[in-house]
Every structure is written in structure tokens, then in C-alpha cells.
Amino acid sequence: MPVQTRLQKKLLKFQSLDTNQIDHQNPTNFQALINPTLSNNMASQSAVNQPNPPPPPVINPPPIINLPPPIVDPPPPPNPIIDPMMLPRELPIIIPQGLMPVTMPINLPKFSGTRNEDPTAHVERFVEVFITSLVTNPNYYLVWFPTTLDGFAYAWYRSHNAGTFASWQELQAAFLRQFRPEVGQ
């Protein structure tokens, strides 16, 4: 068969193809539609050349590792300010119920109990600092007065039994009795 007639026949066959039959993704199908004698060869080749589908992924369970139990920090002590090895003694004052938190005034005077200190002037200055800080409830004086004591004066305060002082008046009177100079007072 002359070359031209074969090409013309293929062209006619191509022109008569239904476009729905053409698989644009697979060029071998297109060649098989044009030349049916190739279709048998291609079918056998495509089965050979067709890559096998990948095997499903193998999901291995995670390995079981025996780990030691996690290290857990011990709970903090109830009050980090207090040394857990030392039990705090009870206070000589009774803390009044219902006191709201108030910022403690700064620059509170200190009293050590030496002979050259005046306990009356110390109490006056202590109360004055509170009043000018707008703290006028005497229950706060009872609670904060011990923070102004140092040395011998603080040792005197702590020498009292728990709950000895229930009011500011009681603590103030005992303080002045202990530290007021004997002469002229």
C-alpha cells in the first residue's frame, strides 16, 4: 500500500473518531483507536509496563519503652517565709478578726529598749505615722507595733505567753510600764 493512502486512511479514521472516546491522559489509547492492530499489542504492553500500585503503608505500633516514673517536685512548704525545720511560736498578741489588708506605713520608728530611748516618744511617733497614713483603727496598731521593736525590747515582747495582749491599750500599757524611766514618770 502506498504511503500516502495509508496516511489518508489514518487521517479519515482520526476525523471520524468520537472525541468522547479519546483518553487525553493516556496517549497509548489514542494510538490504539487510530490503529486497531496496535491495540492488542499495546494492551499486552500496558499490562507489562503498568507500574504496580504502591503497597499500603505499614503502620508499626510505637515501641513499648519502659520509662522510669516522672520525677515530681515535692510540694512547697506551707509558708516559704517560715523555716520548715523550726516551728513558729505563737504570738503574744491576739490578731483581731475582720481586719482588711492595708498597706503598712513606711518609716516606722524602731525601739530597742536602751536607756537613752524614750518609750513614750516612741509610742507617740508610732501612732502619728499611722494617723498620717490614714490608718486610725487601733487593731492595726496592735498588729504592727511589734515590728517596731528590736533587741531587748523585742525579746521582752516575745517573752509573753501566747494571747497575752488582746488590744492595743493592753500592749501599750505593758510596754510603757516596762520601758518608762523610773525617775520623773
* Residue boundaries of the structural domains of the chain: 3-46, 91-185
**185 pLDDT band (50/70/90 cuts)?**
very low
- Contact between 35 and 11 under an 8 Å Cβ cutoff? The reply is no
* pLDDT tens-digit series, residues 107-166: 899 999 998 999 999 999 999 999 998 999 999 999 999 999 999 999 999 999 999 999
Q: Which residue has the higher pLDDT, 72 or 143?
A: 143
Q: What is the mean pLDDT of residues 93-112?
A: 87
- Which three-class secondary structure string do you get for the chain? CCHHHHHHHHHHHHHHCCHHHCCCCCHHHHHHHHCHHHHHHHHHHHHHHCCCCCCCCCCCCCCCCCCCCCCCCCCCCCCCCCCCCCCCCCCCECCCCCCCCCCCCCCCCCECCCCCCCHHHHHHHHHHHHHHCCCCCHHHHHHHHHHHECHHHHHHHHCCCCCCECCHHHHHHHHHHHHCCCCCC
- Per-residue model confidence (pLDDT) at position 106: 82
Which range in 47-56, 84-93, 135-144, 175-184 is most confidently predicted, on average pLDDT?
135-144
pTM of the predicted model as reported, rounded to 2 decimal places = 0.52
Q: Above 80 in pLDDT, residue 3? A: no
